[in-house]
Chains A and B, each alone.
Chain A
Amino acid sequence: MLARLGGGLAVLIPIVVLSTFITYSLGALSNSDPAATILGQDAATPAAVAHLNHVLGLDRPLLVQYGDWLSRAVRGNLGASYFTQIPVAQSIGQRLPVDLSIAILAVLLGALLGGVAGTLAALRRGRWFDRGVTIACSAVSTLPAFVVGIILVVVFAVGAHLLPANGYVPLAAGTTGPWLAHIILPALALSLQLAADVARQLRTSLVGVLEQNYVTGARVRGLPFRRILFRHALRNAAGPALVIVGNDFPVMLAGAVAAEAVFSLPGLGQLLLQAAQNRDIPVVQGLLLIVSGFVVVVNLVVNVTLSVLYRTEGVSA
C-alpha cells in the first residue's frame, strides 16, 4: 500500500508543479495593476505604486514569486485579499464546509440511487423496468445539473413548499434537520448524473457476471439467490462502478460550486465570482489551488484505496 502510494505521489509531483504554476501565472497574465487598484486613483503616484509593488513582492521575477507563493501555500498561508485584507485561507475555510457537505451527500445519493437502479435493471433485463432505467439514464445525461436544480427548486420549494429554495445552515451538534433540508436539493441535483453513470455501468457488468459459470454453479449448488447476488455477483461486478463513484467525487466538488449559483449558497463558487469581478488575484489563485489540490489528493486516495481494497477482497472471496 505504501509503495503504491509513493509511486502515485512521484507521478503527481510534475503534475502538481505544472498546475500550480498555471494557477499562479494567472496573476501575471492579468495586466491589471494591483498596487494601483489597492491605492485608488488619487493615491496612486508612481512612487507609491512602486513602493507597494515592492512590499507585495510583485517587482521580482515570476519564478521567484511563484516559488515563494507555493512554499507559503504549503504551510497554509495563501496570502490575503487585496481588498478586504482577510486571509485567503480563512475565507476558504469558512466556505469549504458548504461545498463538502453537498459533494459528499451527492456522492452517497448517486451511489445509492445508481446502485439500486443498476442492480434491479440487470435482474429484470429487457423488461419495462430495465428500459425505464435506460431511458432515464439517457435523459439525465443530457440535463445539466443546474437545470435539474432549477426543476427541483420549482417542484419542491416553489410548488410544494416542502424544502427551502436557497440558503445554508451550518451543521450544528444535535440538529441535522435544517442542515440536511438546505443541502438535499443541491445534492440531489448533482447526484443524478453520477447515479446514471453508476446504473449504466453496474447494469452492464452485472449482466455479464450473472452469465458466468460460477454463478450458474452456485445456483446448481442450491444457494439462495440473494446470497448469490450479494456474495458472488455484485462483489465482482461492482468494481468499475466503484471506480466511477471514486473518480466522480472531485468532479462533484466542482459541481457543488455550480449548484451554489442555483441555490444561492454561500460557498466557494460565490467567493470565486466575487473575487473574479474585483480582480482579487490572491483569492482566485488560492481558490484554484485548493480546488485542484483537492481533486489531485482525493483522486490519489480513492484510487489507492480502491485498488488495495479490491485486491484483498478478491483474495478472500
Chain B
Amino acid sequence: MRAARLSPGGTPRTPRGRADSAAFPGTPRTPARISALRLPSARIAIVILTLIAVATAFGAVLAPQSPLAIDPGALFQGPSPRHLLGTDYLGRDELSRLLAGTRLSVATALEAVGIGLVLGAPLGIGCVFVGRWFDFAANRVADALMTLPYLFFAVAVTAALGNGLVQAMLPVGLLLAPGYFRITRAATLEFGRAQYVEAATLLGASKPYLIRVHVLRKVLPTITVTTATLTGAALLSVSFLTFLGIGVQPPTPTWGGVLSSDLNYLNLAPWAPFIPGALIAVTVGALNALADAFRDRAGAGTLALPELTSPEASAAASTVPGTGGPVTSEEVADAA
C-alpha cells in the first residue's frame, strides 16, 4: 500500500517499476534510501541513532561527571538536577556511566556485525557464481554454525580465548555470518537469474562485471536492511554479555554492566534498572524501525531476514500448506 504512494515526480511508484528503471542507467529514480527517510518512524529512528552516535564518539567527554567517581554521601539517589538519572550503589552518576559506556557497547556490536558481513555476504554472492559444490559446502557450514546458540557459544569461547569483550564478540560475529550468507545468497539467486543477467552473459560479460554491475547493486538494499536488524541483535548480545559480566572488568561502565549492578539493589532502587533497560530497548527499536522503513520502501526487491533456525525449518515451511486456502488436489494426491 505504501509502495503505491505517489513519488515527488507524480508518477505511481511500484517496486517492479523501479526495479525495471534501475536496469536502464540514466533513467531517473528516487533511491529507496531517500524515500524511506520520509517516513515518520524512520525520522524518529534517525534522531535516536544520531544521539547514540554522538554518545559513542564523545560520550566520555559529554559525561557531566566522572563515571568512576564514588560518592558515599549520595547512594541510590533518584533523578535530581545534580544527578539527572540518579546514582548507583556507590553513588556514581548513572547518566555519566551510561554515556561513558556507550562507546564500548556500540563499538563491540559493530565489530560483530562487521565480522558477520565480511564473512557472510561475499560467500553468499560467491555461492551463486562459483559452482554447485561450493554452494553445497558453504550451506552445510552455515547450517552447522546455526545449530550453535550464539550467546551460549560466546560465553564458551571466552573460556578458550580469555575473558574479553573483543573475544566474546568474535563468535557472535561468526554466528551472525550465516544470517548474512543466507540472505545475500537468496537475493543473489533472485537477481542472478534475471533475464538481463542472462542477456549480459550472452553478450560476453565476465563474472566480476556481472557481480559488480548487476548483482551487487541489487543486493545492497537487502544487505543494508539486514545490517540494521543484525546491529540491533548484536547490541542486544553485547548488552547481555556485559550484563553477565563477560568481557569487562567491574569499574568499566557498559550498558549491560550498569543494568546488572542496578539489578542487585532492586529493593533499594526498583526504578533504576529501567534506565539502562530503556536505553537498550530504544536503540534496538530504532534500528528495527529503520530496517522496517527501508524494507517498506525498497519493496519487493528486499528480502526479510529469515528466522535464524536450522536448515530443516525452511524445508518444513515449504511442506506445510501455506496461508492460502484449502488443500489442493495435488496435495491430496501427493499424500495418498
Contacts and interface: CB of A to CB of B under 8 A. Distances in A.
A30 B161 contact: yes
Given A18-B144, A29-B160, A142-B281, A303 B323 contact: no
Interface of B: 140-141, 143-145, 147-153, 155-161, 163, 232, 236, 239-240, 243-246, 259, 263, 266-267, 270, 273-274, 277, 280-282, 284-285, 288, 307-313, 315-317, 319-327, 331-332, 334-336
Contacts of A277: 159, 163
Given A276-B159, A299-B313, A300-B312, A209 B320 contact: no
A279 interface: yes
Contacts of A292: 147-149
Contacts of B335: 311-312, 314-315
B149 A243 contact: no
A150 B263 contact: yes
Given A269-B152, A291-B149, A314-B331, 10 more contacts: A8-B315, A11-B312, A144-B280, A147-B280, A212-B325, A236-B326, A287-B152, A300-B312, A307-B319, A315-B327
Contacts of A288: 148, 152-153, 156
Contacts of B327: 314-315, 317
B147 A144 contact: no
Interface in A302-317: 302-303, 306-307, 310-312, 314-315, 317
Nearest to A244: B307
Contact of B309 (A151, A214, A247, A306): A247
B160 A296 contact: no
A280 B282 CA distance: 37
A142 B284 contact: yes
A26 B144 CA distance: 15
User: Which A-B residue pairs are the 4 nearest by beta carbons?
Assistant: A142-B285, A18-B144, A254-B149, A205-B323
Contacts of A306: 316, 320
Contacts of B147: 15-16, 19, 292, 295-296
B94 to A, nearest CB: 15
B323 A247 contact: no
Contact of A261 (B236, B243, B308, B322): B243
Contacts of A287: 152, 156
A63 interface: no
A310 B319 contact: yes
A231 B186 CA distance: 36
A204 B285 contact: no
A239 B320 contact: yes
Contacts of A138: 285
A317 B282 CA distance: 45
B87 to A, nearest CB: 19
Contacts of A15: 140, 143-144, 147, 310-311
A26 to B, nearest CB: 4
21 contacts: A22-B144, A22-B148, A27-B160, A144-B284, A150-B274, A151-B274, A165-B266, A209-B323, A240-B317, A240-B320, A251-B308, A251-B309, A272-B152, A272-B156, A273-B244, A277-B159, A280-B159, A291-B149, A307-B315, A312-B335, A315-B327
- What does DSSP make chain A's interface, helix, strand, loop or mixed? helix
A111 interface: no
B151 A254 contact: yes
B321 A275 contact: no
A6 B311 CA distance: 15
B273 A154 contact: yes
A153 interface: yes
A142 B231 CA distance: 12
Nearest to A241: B323
Given A30-B161, A144-B239, A303 B313 contact: yes
Contact of A154 (B240, B266, B288): B266
A146 interface: yes
Given A19-B145, A146-B243, A150-B263, A273 B155 contact: yes
Contacts of A237: 323
A284 B319 contact: no
A22 B277 CA distance: 33
Nearest to B143: A15
A12 B267 CA distance: 49
A205 B309 CA distance: 21
Contact of B140 (A14, A208, A303): A14
A258 B256 CA distance: 13
Contacts of A49: none
B243 A247 contact: no
A276 B168 CA distance: 11
A100 interface: no
A26 B326 contact: no
Contacts of A56: none
B248 to A, nearest CB: 14
A200 B76 CA distance: 40
